[in-house]
């Protein structure tokens, strides 16, 4: 079997508040292989500052942290073949002005390295290691 990778997806506070969690999960379930962790979390300021540390020098950093603290987020880890790239394609453009409706309510890892870092911040000991029964049908 070809090796798989993991990605981190977070449904932002407005996605949770607007009751879009189920629809977002459904879309990812239809496109990627395996859900291995998910939790509803009220992220602390320290966690968010670490999560977005690569943006700390940008003018919107403080507002982003405040927004992400404005309500709970759903932190999800998906595993599958090329799941980081697939997730990024599903999310579309990062800049809300350039994106289609919807993607700005979801954060997604932009690389395998970013995914590993982000997953590490959200308690990796909670990941469930199992093999999907469909794995042998999908991957050779």
Containing 113, the helix (H) or strand (E) segment is helix 112-121
Find out whether 28 and 76 touch, Cβ atoms under 8 Å: yes
| Three-class DSSP category at 47 | helix
Q: Is 107 a catalytic residue?
A: yes
Query: Of 107, 108, 115, 122, which is the active-site residue?
Result: 107
Tokens of 110: 């932009």
Half-sphere exposure at residue 5, Cβ-oriented, CA atoms within 13 angstroms: 17
What residue ranges in the chain does DSSP mark as E strands? 5-11, 34-41, 73-80, 106-108
Q: Which residues are catalytic?
A: 107
């Amino acid at each position: 079997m070809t090796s798989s990778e993991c990605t981190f997806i977070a449904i932002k506070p407005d996605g949770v508040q607007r009751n879009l969690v189920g629809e977002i999960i459904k879309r990812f379930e239809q496109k990627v292989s395996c859900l291995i962790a998910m939790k509803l979390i009220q992220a602390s300021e320290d966690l968010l500052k670490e999560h977005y540390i690569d943006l700390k020098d940008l003018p919107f950093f403080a507002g982003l942290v405040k927004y992400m603290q404005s309500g709970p987020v759903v932190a999800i880890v998906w595993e599958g073949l090329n799941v980081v790239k697939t997730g990024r394609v599903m999310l579309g453009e990062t800049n809300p002005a350039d994106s289609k409706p919807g993607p700005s309510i979801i954060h997604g890892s932009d690389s395998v390295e970013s995914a590993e870092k982000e997953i590490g911040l959200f308690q990796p000991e909670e990941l469930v290691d199992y093999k999907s029964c469909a794995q042998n049908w999908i991957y050779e």
